[in-house]
Amino acid sequence: MPPKIRYTPERVLDAAYALVRASGPAALSARNVAAALGCSTAPVFTQFRSMDELHEAVIDRALAAFAAHVARGVHTDPLVAAGLGMVQFAADEPSLYAALFLTKHPWAHKFGPLRRDLARRLADHPRYAALPDAARFGLVGRASVVVHGLGVEIWSGRLPDASAPTLTRYLEQLAGPMVDAALAHGWTQDIHALPRSEVRP
């Protein structure tokens, strides 16, 4: 008699992540995960209390992949380097990019630690060293708005050239002036944390 297949949390998560990576966040359902595993939906709900819990685990794994891309970006300016990693992620992993940034979900707060880590790294660069911690954090958030605009253009296929030199040029032309203006005028409030009526330069 063949040994009974064990559906561990890792196996279920692997199947769910592979589905989202290949087909986007809309593909994530108990039925689809079970089909990928070749079983009923019972093991899915044995290992995860709900689809929300499994979805959150997929988001965590996708965010780790995104953070790895951000860390790989290469440029003399660490903010541009991070932006390069972000837009390269949109080119390399379009379905995961959609799952993280183009689909509404309740785990957007998980982006905060990644922004804080990048803000801490900016402190080692002479361009940003004199800024208070809160200003560096706010600047990272403001830059991400511009960078993700470029990311959406790449994700959608409207900018088909996603080579590193082209992406670097776009970031220098689009995000560079925004960062220059923010530093010159002190526009470093964290726009993600303020009520809409309070967002101003």
Rounded alpha-carbon distances, angstroms, from residue 153 to 91, 102, 114, 170: 10, 12, 23, 11
Q: Within this chain, do residues 33 and 75 fall inside the same structural domain, yes or no? A: no
Q: What is the CATH number of the domain that holds 15?
A: 1.10.10
Domain span holding position 24? 1-48
* 53 belongs to a structural domain: no
- CB distance 47 to 120 below 8 Å: no
Q: Which two tokens stand for residue 75?
A: 């440029």
Q: Within this chain, do residues 90 and 152 fall inside the same structural domain, yes or no? A: yes
Report the alpha-carbon distance of residue 140 to residue 78 in Å, rounded: 10
Encode 68-101: b = buried (16+ Cβ within 10 Å), e = exposed: ebbeebebebbbbbbbbbbbbbbbebbbbbbbbb
Task: Render pLDDT for 123-154 as a digit per residue (tens, 0 to 9).
Answer: 999 999 999 999 999 999 999 999 999 999 99
**Residue that has been written with the tokens 């992406």 in this structure:** 167
Q: Within this chain, do residues 32 and 67 fall inside the same structural domain, yes or no? A: no
Task: State the pTM of this model.
Answer: 0.91
| Total number of domains constituting the chain | 2
pLDDT confidence bin for 197, thresholds 50/70/90: low
Task: Render pLDDT for 58-87 as a digit per residue (tens, 0 to 9).
Answer: 999 999 999 999 999 999 999 999 999 999
Please tell me whether residue 82 adopts helix, strand or coil conformation: helix
The larger pLDDT score, comparing residue 1 to residue 145, is at: 145
